Amino acid sequence: MDEIAYYSATVGTKAQQAEFSACNRDVVARGRAPGIIPVEATQRPSADIMPTSLRDLFGYRWAFRCSTDASSDTIMGHGTANNGYTATDIPDDSPGVGWLRAETTRLPRRVKSAYLSTEDIIALARNAAELRAQAGITTGPAEPGSPARLYSMCTACRGTGTIRQAA
C-alpha cells in the first residue's frame, strides 16, 4: 500500500482513520499465517502516521535517501544512524539505493534496487499495450489496471516527473 499516511491521517473522519489503522494493524499482525505479506510505504513513518506498535511488526525496513538522521532512524530503528547506517549518506544521483534491514539481522545492508524513470515506465507500458494488442487482448484505456490506462496516465503526466493515481 503506497502512502499509508493518506489513509491513516489525511482522508476520512478521525473514526474512519482509526478504523483503517486498526484493520491495517490486524492484517500486518496476523496476515503472515495465511500468506498475506503487506508491503507499506510512506515518506516518513512517524508515530502519528504509523504507530510504533505497527511499525515494529514489519520484519523488513528499507530507507531510501533521507534529509535527517532522525528520519533515517524513524525507519531503521533508534540509534541506527549513530552506528553508521544513515540514509542521509545516499547521494542525490543514486536512485534506488537504500539501507535495508531484514528481520534476520539487526544490521542494515546497503542495497540497490531497479529504478525506473517516468520515461522507462512509459516505454514498458507502451510495449505491454502493443503486445496485448498483437495477442488480441484488447482491454480499453478506461479499464483500471490495463497497460493502455497506465500508458495514458504516464503520457498525461509527462514533464511533471510523476505518475498520478487515476480516478
Domain boundaries, the chain: 4-112, 118-156
Three cell numbers, residue 44: 516518513
Residues 6+ apart with CB under 8 A from 62: 75, 98, 99, 100, 101, 111
| pLDDT tens digit sequence for 22-32 | 999 999 999 88
Please state the rounded mean pLDDT for residues 116-137.
88
**What are the backbone angles phi and psi of residue 97, rounded to the nearest 5°?**
-90, 140
pLDDT band at 140 (very low <50, low <70, confident <90, very high): low
pLDDT tens digits, 3-55: 888 888 889 999 999 898 899 999 999 988 888 889 998 887 888 888 888 88
Pick the residue with more confidence: 11 or 151?
A: 11
What count of other Cβ atoms lies within 10 Å of the Cβ of residue 98? 23
Percent of the chain surpassing pLDDT 90: 37
Alpha carbon distance 165, 153 (integer Å)? 8
The pTM of the full predicted model, rounded to 2 decimals, is: 0.68
pLDDT over 80 (residue 156): no
